[in-house]
Amino acid sequence: MRSLTTYQPQVYSPLPPNTTDQQLVELWLHNRPTTTQEGYRIDIRAFFTFVQKPLREVNLADLQAFADDLTERRYKDATKDRRLKAVKSLLTFAAKTHYQPFNVGAAMRLPKVRRRLHERILSREEILSMFLCEKNLRNRLILRLLYYSGMRVSELCGLCWKDLYAGQHEAGVIAIYGKGSEERHVALKKEIYEELLSFRNGAAPDAPIFVSRGGGRGRKKSGEHLDKTQIERIVEQAATRAGIKKHVTPHFERHSHATHAVLNKAPAPVIQGTLGHKSLETTMLYFDINPEESSSFYL
């Protein structure tokens, strides 16, 4: 009797022949925002430095050991969470493209992160004090636009004058290009729009709204977009002048925008659209830390 042979389907990979770990990482990063690519490269480099083996040989024990090492070295929860998510995302991509036969990271449980969101929110008075203490017009506009638009610092860095246009009721609108090149249009208060128009001073449509003056250590030429580090410094210095005893970053203004909007009864979908949250669950975090009701009120 003739023996039956089992049919083994051939698995095809979309990857180029002989793809290396480094080439896989670059394919995984393709089309992500520049700042995201920079952060993920650091995270993945840290992982490879720790495991000291090719990606195809990585197992669950390696992932757990990496997580334990991050804890032992006392990395911040947010950094630990980002690094583990980056590694899991790369492993998912490796499995989808058949670089690996299965997704090693799928079995890895991520530790819960304490968000401590309430610690990164400034009061309305603190925000206004930062505005008042900033005497430089460009820098004050940066502070005001970060707060009133709720945009991320990476989004503000890329703004050009062609992104600003007239909207309804004499207000302005700004086109913001966010994570994953997602585009959203945010209405600005009339006063902010008019301040920006006055600040433009005949600049070309393709010119950056916030321009580097150059000088310093020579990292930026005059006339280029301000970068993330420069804006972080502007925000930090404004907070110091205002007497705020925290290490304030641009994202504090985004958190404060959302929180103050919640306190002023803005609908959740409006806040979600303004901030560019993909999930309403992210927006609802700001409602969770500002509860209207508590059983303690009934005691």
- Domain chopping of the chain, boundaries: 21-107, 118-290
- pTM to 2 decimals? 0.74
What are the distances in angstroms from CA 283 to CA 23, 42, 81, 274, 276? 36, 28, 20, 10, 9
Do residues 188 and 175 lie in contact, with contact meaning Cβ atoms separated by under 8 Å? no
Of the candidates 248, 228, 229, the one whose C-alpha atom is nearest the C-alpha of residue 237 is: 248
CA 45 centroid distance within chain:
20
CATH 1.10.443.10 assigned to 118-290: yes
Whose structure tokens read 């950094």?
Answer: 79
Residue 10 has pLDDT above 60, yes or no: no
* Tens digit of each residue's pLDDT (9 = 90 or more) over 48-106: 999 999 999 999 999 999 999 998 998 888 889 899 999 999 999 999 999 999 999 99
Is the torsion defined by CA of 76, 288, 180, 223 positive or negative? Answer: negative
The DSSP line for 109-144 is PPPP----GGGG---HHHHHHHHHH---HHHHHHHH
Cα–Cα distance, 90 to 29 (Å, whole number): 9
Please state, as a whole number, how many other Cβ atoms lie within 10 Å of the Cβ of residue 212. Answer: 17
Class of domain 21-107: mainly alpha
Confidence of residue 144 (pLDDT cuts 50, 70, 90): very high
* Tens digit of each residue's pLDDT (9 = 90 or more) over 186-244: 999 999 999 999 999 999 999 999 998 765 444 556 678 899 999 999 999 999 999 99
pLDDT number for residue 77 = 82
